[in-house]
């Protein structure tokens, strides 16, 4: 079976979408599928094309057995709504223009956010006359409204119309959380077309990290390392982490390591300097290959988001990586993520954007190594049973095969029959 995927991000980029897409694609190839991923030149999050790449009209490469086709886009940093929207829209236009030169697959899969990337899959599905599976990793445009990037209803309304069109037209919709399902159905998808396949982790990647070398390199050998790994964006409210660090300055053995990049990083480093915090290190974007070492060096893993009702439906993929590395989590996210952590007994949950609770939870774990070990073991047991990427990728591939097989027997607009509902 040939799967044609559209993803705005792909390795060597490091974000959660690139990781999920690439790990699934590799697993599908290992299971015998042919996979082609259509994406753009790697440039996230700084808007600068990575060394060794050029922003050309059309280029091919093979990564881990996956055929990767990179198309031209209007490259933009992950900041500023107007330029980012043009960046997203340019990939959609490039996909349509390049469609005659793209392979005709058995099934088209596209992943959102952003919405334009998702719709690109729908247009390819129509052009190639093949079924379309739409993956929803985030509710867009709701997420940009939640962080205050857009407040005008006149601007939001057209995006909402496109969102509803996508839910209606897709042959199947894959949600990464249970909570998204109600929104997807309310906005046009038939319930029998919606399938939940959550994020997970490749357990093998985090089994052999070298934390000692990472600690030595960054002079953290005798420290309790509290790490935040991921995008430094508006949705994450990392100011809360800096305020928590200020409350823990009397504990010089506790050091905060901020790993990643994003639209808010410059502002955050300026805030750190203005506050005179000596216990916060901004390490910048590190290669994906370094993540096992970072997690091995970590004593306490932070996962935080804005205190917005929308983010109650989000499950940050970094919680599974921390659990796979047997690291305790301090979670500042409400909703489904908190339920996972509490059920697994793999960390402490605090109110989002509450620096007092965040600093207290960090101090509790810093003072109790045996509790850190216990929570870490619980997390590893949980991901082994429920969130193994190998198992989840197989479930996903089975769905893609069923969609492709059913479309050959019936009109693509019909829902899957009862025996293949999930």
pLDDT recorded at residue 148? 53
Q: 228 with 94, same domain?
A: no
Say yes or no to pLDDT of 250 above 80: yes
The whole-number average pLDDT for the span 100-117 is 93
* Phi, psi torsion values for 326, nearest 5 degrees: 60, 40
pLDDT recorded at residue 333? 95
- Three-state secondary structure call for residue 76: coil
pLDDT recorded at residue 84? 80
pLDDT recorded at residue 364? 98
pTM over 0.75: yes
Q: 219 with 321, same domain?
A: yes
Between 298 and 203, name the one with better pLDDT: 298
Q: 193 with 90, same domain?
A: yes
The whole-number average pLDDT for the span 18-30 is 95
What CATH number does the domain containing 33 carry? 3.40.50.2000
Confidence label for 143 from pLDDT (cuts 50, 70 and 90): low
The tokens of 405 are what? 């097989």
Confidence label for 155 from pLDDT (cuts 50, 70 and 90): low
Q: What percent of the chain has pLDDT over 70?
A: 91
Q: 355 with 402, same domain?
A: no
Query: What does the alpha-carbon distance between residue 114 and residue 76 come to, in Å, rounded to a whole number?
Result: 14
Q: 350 with 362, same domain?
A: yes
Say yes or no to pLDDT of 145 above 80: no
Number of domains comprising the chain: 2
Q: 16 with 132, same domain?
A: yes
Between 416 and 192, name the one with better pLDDT: 192
Say yes or no to pLDDT of 208 above 80: no
Q: 190 with 207, same domain?
A: no
Report the residue count for the chain. Answer: 422
Q: 246 with 377, same domain?
A: yes
Q: Which domain holds residue 15?
A: 2-200+389-420
Q: 405 with 338, same domain?
A: no
Q: Which residues of 321-349 are buried (b: 16+ CB within 10 A; e: fewer)?
A: bbbbbbbbbbbbbbbbbbebbeebebbbb
> What is the average pLDDT score of the chain?
90
Over residues 399-414, the pLDDT tens digits come to: 999 999 976 655 444 4
Q: How far is CA 146 from the centre of its chain?
A: 17
- Cβ of 155: how many Cβ atoms within 10 Å? 14
For 132-141, 209-218, 274-283, 301-310, which range has the lowest pLDDT when averaged over its residues? Answer: 132-141
In what side-by-side order are the strands of the sheet with 254-259? 280-284, 254-259, 224-229, 300-304, 329-332, 347-349
Confidence label for 418 from pLDDT (cuts 50, 70 and 90): very low
The whole-number average pLDDT for the span 381-402 is 95
**Are 42 and 49 within 8 A, CB to CB?**
yes
The whole-number average pLDDT for the span 241-255 is 97
Which of 152, 141, 149, 139 has its CA nearest to residue 81? 149
Q: 279 with 238, same domain?
A: yes
The whole-number average pLDDT for the span 13-39 is 94
Q: 283 with 145, same domain?
A: no
Say yes or no to pLDDT of 3 above 50: yes
Q: 167 with 216, same domain?
A: no
Say yes or no to pLDDT of 181 above 90: yes
Over residues 321-330, the pLDDT tens digits come to: 999 999 999 9
Peptide bond just before 415 cis, omega within 30 deg: no
**Are 59 and 92 within 8 A, CB to CB?**
no
Over residues 64-102, the pLDDT tens digits come to: 999 999 999 998 876 666 788 888 899 999 999 999 999
For residue 244, the 8-state DSSP code is: H
Element (H, E) at 293: helix 291-297
Say yes or no to pLDDT of 136 above 90: yes
């Amino acid at each position: 079976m040939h799967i044609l995927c559209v993803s705005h991000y792909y390795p060597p980029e490091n974000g959660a979408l690139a990781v999920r897409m690439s790990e699934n694609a590799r697993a599908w190839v290992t299971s015998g599928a042919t996979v082609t991923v259509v994406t753009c030149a790697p440039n996230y999050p700084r808007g600068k094309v990575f060394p060794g790449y050029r922003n050309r009209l059309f280029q091919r490469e093979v990564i881990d057995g996956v055929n990767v086709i990179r198309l031209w886009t209007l490259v933009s940093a992950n900041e500023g709504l107007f330029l980012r929207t043009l960046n997203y829209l340019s990939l959609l236009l490039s996909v349509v223009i390049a469609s005659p030169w793209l392979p005709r697959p058995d099934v088209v899969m596209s992943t959102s956010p952003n919405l334009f990337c998702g719709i690109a899959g729908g247009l390819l599905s129509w052009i190639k006359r093949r079924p379309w599976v739409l993956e929803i990793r985030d509710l867009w445009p709701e997420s940009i409204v939640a962080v205050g990037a857009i407040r005008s209803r006149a601007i939001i309304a057209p995006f909402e119309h496109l969102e509803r069109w996508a839910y209606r037209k897709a042959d199947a919709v894959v949600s990464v959380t249970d909570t998204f399902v109600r929104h997807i159905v309310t906005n046009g998808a038939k319930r029998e077309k919606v399938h939940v396949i959550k994020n997970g982790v490749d357990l093998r990647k985090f089994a052999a990290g070298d934390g000692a070398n990472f600690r030595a390199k960054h002079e953290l050998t005798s420290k309790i390392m509290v790490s935040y790994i991921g995008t430094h964006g508006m949705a994450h409210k990392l100011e809360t982490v800096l305020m928590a660090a200020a409350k823990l300055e009397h504990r010089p053995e506790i050091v905060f390591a901020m790993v990643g990049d994003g639209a808010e990083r410059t502002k955050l480093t300026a805030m750190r300097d203005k506050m005179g915090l000596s216990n916060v290190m901004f390490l910048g974007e590190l290669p994906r290959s370094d993540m096992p070492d970072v997690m091995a060096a970590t004593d306490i893993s932070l996962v935080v988001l804005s205190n917005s009702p929308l983010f109650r439906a989000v499950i940050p993929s970094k919680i599974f990586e921390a659990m796979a590395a047997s690291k305790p989590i301090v979670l500042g996210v409400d909703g489904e993520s908190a339920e996972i952590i509490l059920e697994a007994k793999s960390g402490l949950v605090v109110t989002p954007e509450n620096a007092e609770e965040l600093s207290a939870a960090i101090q509790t774990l810093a003072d109790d190594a045996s509790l850190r070990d216990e929570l870490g073991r619980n997390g590893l047991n949980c991901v082994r049973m429920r969130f193994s990427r190998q198992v989840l990728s197989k479930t996903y591939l089975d769905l893609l095969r069923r969609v492709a097989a059913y479309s050959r027997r019936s009109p693509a607009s019909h829902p899957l029959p009862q025996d293949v509902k999930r």
